[in-house]
Structure 1
Amino acid sequence: GQDKFPGGGLSLVFRLNESTPEVLWEVLLERGWEEYDPLEQDEQDWNLYWCMSGFRNSDYENVLLWQRLNHLPKTMRLARKDWLARSLRRMRGTYGARLYGFSPMYTKLGADGKDIFIFDDIKNLTHDSPVIIQKYLSNPLLISGYKFDLRIYASVKSFCPLTIYMYQEGLVCFVSEKYNLASLDNLFSHLTNTSIDKFGPFYTTDKEQVGQGCTWTMSKFCSFLHSQGINEILLWQKINNIVTLTLLTIAPLIPSSPNCLELFGFDILIDCHYKPWLLEVSYSPALSMDCPAHIMVKKSLINDFIDLLNYTMIDGLRRRGYLRQKQRRPSNSGTRSLLPKSPIVRLIPKSVCESKWQCQSRINSYWHCSCSEGKLPAIHSQRVESPGQRTHDKNVPSLCVGDFILTFPFNDITHKASQGPLDVKTIVHKVRKLTS
């Protein structure tokens, strides 16, 4: 969509660092944004600062009302496999392995498949620094003999109160050679990593059911599960629970940052019993365009993520707009009250709902939703309101923004428990009930 507001507002302005993928630059220009020029514009005359690495504390402290950052503070630790392993082990000790037994132990590895190796005897492990060993999941679900994992996208709009959106599309990444436990040294048979598999000799081969390349969209995967008589809706709810429970490990540690938004990538492996396992969490998930499925999914993902940032017409005016609006308000209102609030999209007429969260419960009760073949559960009937539109409900986040769907909070109790201080025990209890 275009981010031009009626009434003569200025274009929104974006800042990118050198490592930002080109597709983000393309999407923002297509939406009518302008790139920040430090030689022509004031240092604070921008709306979005996108950085693949983390921001400095001073960046968070100095962010202004019309500005957004694409990271929340202190979230990078979630992508550290050693930190995640310790945190999940702690939660497993507190709430039990039945709920938190969704992740094997991790080795301390690099990104993009660097330093990844597989062994079947601990005596074969040699290292010169501390590592965490990940138990290899040897019984993965296979499609025509090929192993795969899922890249799930989730956005956190706030950790205080906790607000989680799951993206309905995603990627399914296959190995380029058939799974074979007898050849652990053949990474093309075991590692579902595009950075590795695209160099494999059979990457472009037309593989049975999988096809050429090594990537499906999530819609295609759901269509396949549906054709096999598998309850893809219940599987999706289990994955949603993994995302929520994982984010709860870090939520109490993250300070409130209303001008920030985070996009995570969750890598999920499905075993032969259709149990989902968390492999890792990606901070600044890759936005490279290596195949048609990447183009189809990631461009829409970026567009919908920008919509989640909830820009309004006054943001296009930047400092001038907020100063002008402040002059029209009573002197005791304060500038922080000018921060744009998220609109709410009602899925059911108010007269039908006993409470606003009845609409919300439709989202997490996936087995009550209609599901057309080849699509994830159709849980919304309309897209988010256009930028600049607001409703009078300031406390409830939008139920859907493009293909992002609100998965937490999902009822009155979890909404109350998500307010500071975070009531993790109550939230875990309610999440447990979703698939019990």
Structure 2
Amino acid sequence: MAKNKSSGFKGQYGYQKKKDIESRSCIRFRCSLTNTILDVLRQRPSWVEAKEDGEWDFYWCDVAWLRENFDHTYMDEHVRICHFRNHYELTRKNLMVKNLKRYRKLLEREAGRMEAAKFDFYPSTFELPFEYHLFVEEFKRNPGSTWIMKPVARSQGKGIFLFRKLKDIMDWKKDGNRFEDQKDEIQVESYVAQRYIENPYLIGGRKFDLRVYVLVTSYTPLKAWLYRDGFARFSNTRFSLSSIDDNYVHLTNVAIQKTAPDYDPEKGCKWQMQQLRRYLIAKHGADIVEILFRDMDAIFVRSLQSVQKVIINDKHCFELYGYDILLDEQLKPWLIEVNASPSLTASSLEDYDLKCRLLEDTLHVVDMEGRLSGKEKQVGGFDLMWNDGPVYTDDSDYRTNTHLGCMNDRNKQLKQLFKCSPGQKKL
């Protein structure tokens, strides 16, 4: 069980001894959210909701609780929690780029430039205020190009804007974001200035990005799973660079698009990943699309490797990341950002069903019930893509074990996986 030390416990000798997980009559959970994940947890067989101040076995917490309580909470061996302690090394925009740059330099020293060049999958990015002068040098080398400013610790498109002139940054600084005077006692909010992808791949004239889900259950060794389902998020307005002030053109966040005057909540602005893959195959052929999806697989693995030695590994922790990938017109994938708390609020019935499947399978992989052998390559819609090294299929051509955008045969797979488990409720 888990309990805050401040609630009266005086050291490990006062705790109830760990019971064998298979003998538990129920698994007690807590949840900080009130959306899809809470529905999934409440519907899970033999799981019961713990009281607010009671002991729990599993906690789907928010990052604020993690920051304030993780170091003050005793956790028995079987307890699981949905974030790593310093998850922000990958999920804060500035730290993600810092770690990618650091790891790329390490690879260049140890493996050569060709290996380091494989990290050319994120746009040129600078943290402001700290790299302001480096940014200005790069900006002046590419006159007339478009850049995008993003606050490093906000989400859902808040605080983002595009610009083409340095005077636009000056105007921004005057609006309370003064970062040249480092002696100012006011804490300056950090931003990243990122080269805007001016040639995005368009469908129906509209820009989109991809939301892909990656589940990490360990960093030491690195063990990561890729979910077969995901979706493309479309802008509500046709793409154009003539107006860089229109967020409905340039930002694909659902939180922004649903505020558009002509937004249709029934139609929404998403395609399922399978639909996108079929479209791309029909237009470009299976071989080209296979290369695209393999390139995305490489982005997931290399980004995780860049923080593998930085993240504080803990056997109690797992992380469900939401990756945002943008395709350009050459079908090159670009890593835009990684989310530690990808939205679990559904925008449609189809979206709700997808997220329920995703979360149910996340719980299957985390395996509080102790039903897995540890040798599985697929659990529901998750495929094991890295287990201290690449995971391959049983095919003779050594293709990697990833099926993003392919058929999700999770129901059949789960029935087969758990058919021999005694007492398992029918799926």
Q: TM-score, normalising length from structure 1?
A: 0.69
* In 2: Cα distance, 1:58 partner to 1:263 partner: 20
Q: Which of these residues, 196, 216, 224, is aligned with residue 136 of structure 1? A: 196
Other-structure match for 2:17: none
Deviates more, 1:367-376 or 1:271-280: 367-376
Tell me how far 1:286 sits from its aligned partner. Answer: 0.9
Q: Does 1:277 align with 2:291?
A: no
Tell me how far 1:146 sits from its aligned partner. Answer: 0.6
Q: Which of these residues, 88, 99, 110, is aligned with residue 87 of structure 1? A: 99
Deviates more, 1:212-221 or 1:376-385: 376-385
Q: Which of these residues, 207, 222, 230, is aligned with residue 162 of structure 1? A: 222
Q: Does 1:21 align with 2:40?
A: no
The one-letter code matched in structure 2 to 1:229 is H
1:357/1:153 CA distance change after superposition, 3 Å: closer
Deviates more, 1:180-189 or 1:129-138: 129-138
* In 2: Cα distance, 1:78 partner to 1:373 partner: 21
Other-structure match for 1:59: 70
Other-structure match for 1:431: none
Check whether the contact 2:31–2:59 (CA below 8 A) recurs between aligned residues: yes
SS in 2 for 1:188: helix
Tell me how far 1:278 sits from its aligned partner. Answer: 0.5
* In 2: Cα distance, 1:379 partner to 1:289 partner: 20
Listed one character per residue, the Cα deviations across residues 289-314 of structure 1 (whole Å, up to 9, x for unaligned) are 1123421321111000111111236x
Tell me the number of residue pairs that the alignment of Structure 1 and Structure 2 aligns.
342
1:342/1:255 CA distance change after superposition, 3 Å: farther
The one-letter code matched in structure 2 to 1:215 is K
Tell me how far 1:66 sits from its aligned partner. Answer: 2.9
1:372/1:256 CA distance change after superposition, 3 Å: closer
Instruction: Map 1:37-186 to 2 at 5 A.
Output: 37-38=51-52, 43-44=54-55, 46-53=56-63, 55-56=66-67, 59=70, 62-94=74-106, 95=108, 96=113, 98-104=117-123, 105=125, 107-109=149-151, 110-125=154-169, 126-127=172-173, 128-130=177-179, 131-186=191-246
SS in 2 for 1:134: strand
SS in 2 for 1:170: strand
* In 2: Cα distance, 1:359 partner to 1:81 partner: 26
* In 2: Cα distance, 1:7 partner to 1:91 partner: 41
Other-structure match for 2:49: 35
Instruction: Map 1:7-406 to 2 at 5 A.
Output: 9-17=24-32, 20-32=33-45, 33-38=47-52, 43-44=54-55, 46-53=56-63, 55-56=66-67, 59=70, 62-94=74-106, 95=108, 96=113, 98-104=117-123, 105=125, 107-109=149-151, 110-125=154-169, 126-127=172-173, 128-130=177-179, 131-204=191-264, 212-230=267-285, 231-312=288-369, 342-345=373-376, 360-362=391-393, 368=399, 375=406, 382-383=413-414, 385-386=417-418
Check whether the contact 1:269–1:276 (CA below 8 A) recurs between aligned residues: yes
Listed one character per residue, the Cα deviations across residues 197-236 of structure 1 (whole Å, up to 9, x for unaligned) are 0111232299xxxxx3211111111111122134322211
1:92/1:122 CA distance change after superposition, 3 Å: farther
Q: Structure 1, unaligned stretches of length 5 or more?
A: 207-211, 314-339, 348-355, 391-401, 403-436
SS in 1 for 2:224: strand
* In 2: Cα distance, 1:364 partner to 1:377 partner: 19
SS in 1 for 2:163: coil
The one-letter code matched in structure 1 to 2:61 is C
Tell me how far 1:259 sits from its aligned partner. Answer: 2.1
SS in 1 for 2:209: strand
1:371/1:89 CA distance change after superposition, 3 Å: closer
1:374/1:70 CA distance change after superposition, 3 Å: closer
Check whether the contact 1:223–1:375 (CA below 8 A) recurs between aligned residues: no
1:34/1:373 CA distance change after superposition, 3 Å: closer
Tell me how far 1:115 sits from its aligned partner. Answer: 0.8
Tell me how far 1:357 sits from its aligned partner. Answer: 11
* In 2: Cα distance, 1:380 partner to 1:205 partner: 29
1:172/1:86 CA distance change after superposition, 3 Å: same
Q: Structure 2, unaligned stretches of length 5 or more?
A: 1-19, 127-148, 180-190, 379-386
* In 2: Cα distance, 1:377 partner to 1:346 partner: 14
SS in 2 for 1:227: helix
Other-structure match for 2:188: none
* In 1: Cα distance, 2:194 partner to 2:394 partner: 33
- Normalized per residue, the structure richer in strand is 2
Check whether the contact 1:267–1:280 (CA below 8 A) recurs between aligned residues: yes
| Coordinate RMSD, CA, aligned | 3.7
